[in-house]
Amino acid sequence: MAKTILVADDDPAILDAIKMILELDGYTVLITQDGRAVSKLSQMNPDLIILDIWMSGQDGRDICRHVKAYHSTRGIPIILMSAGRDVEVSAKEAGADDFMSKPFEMSKLLANVKKYIL
């Protein structure tokens, strides 16, 4: 069965591009532009969550903390991503399993995903 990845970013273009890249590699992809929907969607137990840090009105690090605080969702690996250079440490402090800076190499995205989805 195809593994499911939840991707959240407030930019529809990057969301679309990531969805196409991941689908091309055989994953099922759920997308949302609304950071507040992530906690709810995480209840569907995706195999991985990829979250942007700077989303309008929402900080991806806060969402990450929230998802990692619940027993039922704490085990889902989270990759935080950002266009900022100096947020990696704060991303890890928020409980993210990995960090990816934007723009990224497609190969790096896929390699990162494979680290968490066997």
**Tokens at residue 40, please?**
């709810």
Shortest distance, position 62 Cβ to another protein, whole Å:
18
Min separation Cβ 14 and another protein, Å: 4
- 84 binds another protein per the rule CB under 8 A: yes
Q: Which is nearer to another protein, 65 or 102 (CB)?
A: 102
- Chain residues 35-64 in contact with another protein, contact rule CB under 8 A: 54
Q: Which is nearer to another protein, 71 or 85 (CB)?
A: 85
Beta strand 54-55 with 58-59 is antiparallel
Q: Is the dihedral of CA 34, 43, 3, 99 positive or negative?
A: positive
Residues 6+ apart with CB under 8 A from 82: 52, 53, 54, 60, 91, 99, 101, 102
Contact residues for another protein, defined by CB under 8 A: 11, 13-14, 16-18, 20-21, 24, 54, 83-86, 88-89, 102-106
